[in-house]
C-alpha cells in the first residue's frame, strides 16, 4: 500500500489536511494510506509527502528543526529520492532560501527566493490578505490539470501577510491578485507549493489534492 505522510511539527492544520487527503484517497480507491507523523522513519518510507504550516516563518522553521532527523529525512526522500512533495502555506514558504518576517531566517533552500511582506499598491487593502480569490496560471502544471483558473475560475482560500518571491520565474506556477500579483503556487521537478490552503479550498483544493495523489513527476 502506498502512503502519504503529512508532517507533524506543531505548525499546521493537521486534522483538516488529513481529512481532505483521506476523502480524496477514498474516492480514488487506489489504496493510499494517509499518515500524520513526526517520525522521520515513516517519512523515509512514504511515497508522497505533504508539509503544512501556519504561523510565522521563523517559528515554523524552528519547529521543523526541533523534530530530530526530520529535515534529513525530507532531504533524502524529496531531493535525493524524488518523491512527490506538496508544501502548503508556510510549509510552502519554508522551501525558500530565506524568510524576511521581522528577522531573516534561513529556509530549506529547495526553491531559491525569499518570503517577503505583502505590499499592495492600494494602501486601503488590509494585511493579512484573507479570503477567497481566483488564481492565474503562469505556466502549465500537472497539479493544476482540470482546475479552472483565471478571472472566471475556481476560488482558493488564502490567509497570509507574506508571500514567496522566486528568484527564477520558471519556478512560479500561479499568482493571485491583491493590489498586484502575489505568488499562489510554485514548483520545480517533484516539488510543488501552494500559498492557499487546498484543504479549505473546496472544489479547487480537492482537485489539486487528487492531482497530487496521481502525480508521477
Query: What positions carry a catalytic annotation?
Result: 89, 197, 199
- The C-alpha atoms of residue 122 and residue 126 are separated, in whole angstroms, by 9
Contact 57, 115 (CB under 8 A): yes
- The C-alpha atoms of residue 156 and residue 135 are separated, in whole angstroms, by 7
Q: Which residues contact 90 (CB under 8 A, 6 or more apart)?
A: 11, 52, 53, 54, 55, 56, 57, 60
- The C-alpha atoms of residue 212 and residue 34 are separated, in whole angstroms, by 13
Contact 63, 20 (CB under 8 A): no
C-alpha cell at 150: 483565471
* Residue 20, Cβ density class (10 Å: 0-12 exposed, 13-18 middle, ≥19 buried): buried
Amino acid at each position: 500500500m502506498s502512503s502519504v505522510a503529512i508532517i507533524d511539527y506543531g505548525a499546521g492544520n493537521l486534522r483538516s489536511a488529513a481529512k481532505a487527503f483521506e476523502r480524496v484517497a477514498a474516492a480514488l480507491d487506489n489504496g493510499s494510506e494517509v499518515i500524520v507523523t513526526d517520525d522521520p522513519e515513516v517519512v523515509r518510507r512514504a511515497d508522497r509527502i505533504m508539509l503544512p504550516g501556519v504561523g510565522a516563518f521563523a517559528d515554523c522553521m524552528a519547529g521543523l528543526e526541533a523534530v530530530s532527523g526530520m529535515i534529513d529525512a525530507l532531504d533524502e526522500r524529496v531531493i535525493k529520492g524524488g518523491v512527490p512533495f506538496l508544501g502548503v502555506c508556510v510549509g510552502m514558504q519554508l522551501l525558500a532560501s530565506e524568510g524576511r518576517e521581522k528577522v531573516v531566517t534561513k529556509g530549506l533552500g529547495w526553491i531559491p527566493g525569499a518570503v517577503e511582506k505583502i505590499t499592495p499598491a492600494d494602501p486601503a487593502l488590509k494585511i493579512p490578505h484573507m479570503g477567497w480569490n481566483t488564481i492565474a496560471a503562469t505556466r502549465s502544471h500537472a497539479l493544476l490539470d482540470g482546475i479552472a483558473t483565471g478571472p472566471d475560475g475556481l476560488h482558493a482560500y488564502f490567509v497570509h501577510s507574506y508571500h514567496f518571491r522566486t528568484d527564477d520565474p520558471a519556478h512560479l506556477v500561479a499568482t493571485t491578485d491583491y493590489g498586484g500579483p502575489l505568488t499562489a503556487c510554485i514548483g520545480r521537478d517533484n516539488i510543488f507549493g501552494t500559498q492557499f490552503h487546498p484543504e479549505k479550498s473546496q472544489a479547487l483544493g480537492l482537485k489539486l489534492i487528487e492531482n497530487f495523489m496521481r502525480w508521477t513527476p
